[in-house]
Structure 1
Amino acid sequence: MADPSFFVGIVGNIISILVFTSPIATFRRVVRNKSTEEFRWLPYVTTLLCTSLWAFYGLLKPSGLLIITVNAAGAALQATYVALYLAYAPRDTKVKMAKVVVGVNICFFAAVVVVGLVALHGAVRLFAVGVLCSALTIAMYAAPMAAMRTVVKTRSVEYMPFSLSFFLFLNGGIWSVYSLLVKDYFIGVCTHDVHTHIQYIEAQI
């Protein structure tokens, strides 16, 4: 009989990937109007970094397949969003964004992978990458406060849709259960839904 954590992880993968697709409507609008309008690009870049790092963490972790699949899918979607934003952004924004993408998503990520594979080994390597992933993700927790401030100021939940918030809450709960089952508290700290939550809310403001 399969481990219960496997079934919980599968459910988490399905919900997470569905949530990762939430900005598709935004980018349909971008492509249709051939303009990024007032949408912010930084959340997509930071989410791409986080999902890439978590995918790397999954590769290092024994039995980390479900961590790899959800974050690899997330990284692929984020990379698509970043590419579309670059394609339709104004020239000045495009240049600035491209520099950040190269510096963060390519150079920094490559440095983490190289250091992790060459300089660190065994449990120390997994721990170090886990700490880095958790630290970066927790640092992003503050971003939704902007949306909450807007909700309070306007007395409208337009910028924080209930359906999305509910699924993010459900997603966080699923991954928290998964983290307890596999005894991986790095996953429990971050619950894997923060990335898309931040990116989606920031994109709507």
Structure 2
Amino acid sequence: MVETLRLGVAVMGNVASVSLYAAPITTFRRVIRKKSTEEFSCIPYIIGLLNCLIFTWYGLPVVSDKWENFPLVTVNGVGIVLELFYVLIYFWYASSKGKAKVAMIALPLLLVFCIIVTVSAFAFHDNEHRKLLVGSIGLCVSVAMYGSPLVAMKKVIQTKSVEFMPLPLSLCTFLACSLWLTYGVLIHDIFVGGPSVVGIPLSILQLALHCKYRKRSVVEESNKEDMEKGNLEMGNVEKNVTIHKNGNW
């Protein structure tokens, strides 16, 4: 019964986490369409990539005992592909300053991951110490990942607009955190459930900000569209007047 419950929560956690990793697709459609990263931050995606790399390594038999943490490998394997995809798109459409920022953050973090893999694989000779090293670092990175939207939340409060903090991302974060906290408790693994202790309150705060500023953002977007429509109509009127004056009516 307990094993079935663990499996069920793990499957739901996988689905929620894949949804979390896939949520920014709408954001990057906008980036590609506008050929600009606008005010979006690259930090959540780079830290997300590092988090997926570390927990994929944590779930492999090299660190864990056989395949006891196989659900971590499947979901974070998908996460690696998606997060890398986002970082590369961000880098491609970022300004020169933005490209430098991505490189300055991503390259050192990838170097850190390589060091973690090397040390855990060769400096320790038992799963217990490997899990302790990789899990502790993964715990810190996960907390940083869940904390990275604080940059976006600060901007939301300053601008009173949720334009650059997508709602699907906040919803999926809350759901994924809740499920992985449950799974971590069931398997008695603090490194799996621990990050969600930070992630859940932060995701609730994001949802609260959406509730507070969403209506204002919708109204402003509607006003912006009306203004653009009005300017277009005014331009057509001026064009017709000019044609009339030139005798080409």
1:138-157 mapped onto 2 (5 Å cutoff): 138-150=143-155
Q: CA deviation at 1:164?
A: 4.7
Q: How far apart in 1 are the matches of 2:160 and 2:102?
A: 33
Residue 114 (structure 1) aligns with: 118
Moved more, 172-181 or 136-145: 136-145
Contact residue 134 and residue 186 of structure 1 kept, 8 A: yes
**CA deviation map 1:9-46 (0-9, x unaligned):** 01100011011111111111111122222221122111
TM superposition shift of 1:95:
3.3
Match of 2:179 among 166, 171, 174: 174
Deviation at 1:151?
5.1
Greater RCO, 1 or 2 (C-alpha within 8 Å, sep 6+)? 1
Identical-residue share of aligned pairs (%): 36
Letter aligned with residue 61 of structure 1: S
1:28-67 matches, within 5 Å, as: 28-59=29-60, 60-62=63-65, 63-67=68-72
CA displacement 1:135-159 (0-9 Å, x = unmatched) = 2222344434444445555666666
Q: Whose radius of gyration is greater, 1 or 2?
A: 2
In structure 1, how many angstroms separate the alpha carbons of the residues matched to 2:32 and 2:89? 8
Displacement of 1:113 in angstroms is 0.4
Tell me the distance in 1 between the aligned counterparts of 2:12 and 2:134.
25
Alignment partner, residue 191 of structure 1 = 196
In the other structure, the counterpart of 1:104 is 109
Tell me what 1:78 maps to.
83
Query: Is the CA contact 2:19–2:172 (under 8 Å) kept in the aligned structure 1?
Result: no
Cross-structure match for 1:21: 22
CA–CA separation in structure 1 for the residues paired with 2:198 and 2:27: 19
Contact 1:175-1:192 within 8 A present in 2 as well: no
Asked if the contact 1:168–1:193 (Cα under 8 Å) also holds between the matched residues in 2, the reply is no
Contact 2:52 2:76 (8 Å CA) reproduced: yes
CA-atom RMSD in angstroms: 2.7
> Separation in 1 of the partners of 2:150 and 2:104?
27
